[in-house]
Amino acid sequence: MDTQMENTKMKKKILIFGATGYVGRYMVQVSVSMGHQTYAYTRPINLAAVTNQLKLKTIQDFKAMGVTIVEGELDDHVKLVGILQQVDIVISTLPVPQYLDQLKIISAIKEANIERFLPSEFGCEADRSKALPPFQAIIENKKTIRRATEAAGIPYTYVSANVLAGYFIHYILFPDQICNHQVTIYGSGQKKVVWNYEEDVAAYTIRAAMDSRTLNKTIICRPLRNIASQLDFVSSWEEKTGLTLNRIHMLEDDLINLTQRLPLKESIPMAILHYIFIKEDETSITLKEDDLEASALYSDYQYTSVNDLIDSNLINFKNIKLSTFI
């Protein structure tokens, strides 16, 4: 049997932290679809809180899919160790505010015998990225988790997913902006970006989690058909919709100023936009000898191209009443 097929067809027990979050839900769905016994570690739900209704619905959906739900806090070391001892693979998709909470997971992993840990990454390549201070602080937290994982001698795989395309396509083309024929272009709009559909990122992650070739290495998701500038994307949208969008440019100095004067919570998105669309050409990061490119490593997997994503968003766009544009 081909080594690639052997590595990706093994069935494992996979525990996912942050499972009910944006990226976590994709991880759970893909893990289940590939036949793995999937566990979701989640905080206990306060049924009285209105904000927990979506989370409750997500958990109910997970249970219907056969996912084992484990309720607990990250501070509950004994419980963490107990569940970790039952699984093979641990994937964290904890959100930005909880990045450093992964130190608690690492501490518990040291008392369990797992095969692989994949910390919450799914963005820029932390060890080779430099951003404006609000975003750089997040990158430094990712690096802290990497170094702690390595120092503990835990088998790992890091997944650098670049831009989560589904999220950022909606961010750039808000329905109200589309309806007003307006789109914001950050900087010149010519910097190349690597757009990866969230489900593809999850598929690459689950495959890499049990692949001997990815042990203690970094996976970089850089499919050739997903490399496009913001202007490439907007021009394709215009061609497919027949619309001409009013392009409002936000210059680099404007974004930098916003990161300096806005409250931290609001300045972080501005710093991320600066990193993606102005400062960093994601294709300029040279792959090292130990790096692995996901679409080449799993060439049998049919990933979603930028063009496919535009087409899928176009379906939703066409459902908007024509009168909106008159």
DSSP H helices in 152-216: 165-172, 175-179, 198-208
Q: Write phi, then psi, for 283 (nearest 5 degrees).
A: -80, -5
Identify which of 283, 230, 249, 268 has the alpha carbon closest to the alpha carbon of residue 132: 268
Residue 321 annotated as catalytic: no
Task: Report DSSP letters for 134-160, one per residue.
Answer: HHHHHHHHHHHHHHHHHHTT--BEEEE
Structure token digits, residue 145 = 């988790």
Structure token digits, residue 233 = 């994307």
Give me the catalytic one of 9, 12, 13, 142.
Answer: 142
**Helix (H), strand (E) at residue 317:** helix 306-318
The 10 Å Cβ neighbour count of residue 75 is 9
CB-CB contact of 151 with 191 (8 Å) = no
Identify which of 280, 121, 48, 99 has the alpha carbon closest to the alpha carbon of residue 187: 280
Q: What share of the chain is helix, strand, coil (3-state, %, to 5)?
A: 50, 15, 30
The 10 Å Cβ neighbour count of residue 114 is 18
Whole-angstrom CA distances from 168 to 131, 165, 304 are 18, 5, 15
CA 75 remoteness from chain centre: 25
Identify which of 116, 105, 127 has the alpha carbon closest to the alpha carbon of residue 18: 105
If you search the block for the tokens 């759970």, which residue do you land on? 28
**Helix (H), strand (E) at residue 195:** strand 192-196
Catalytic residues: 142
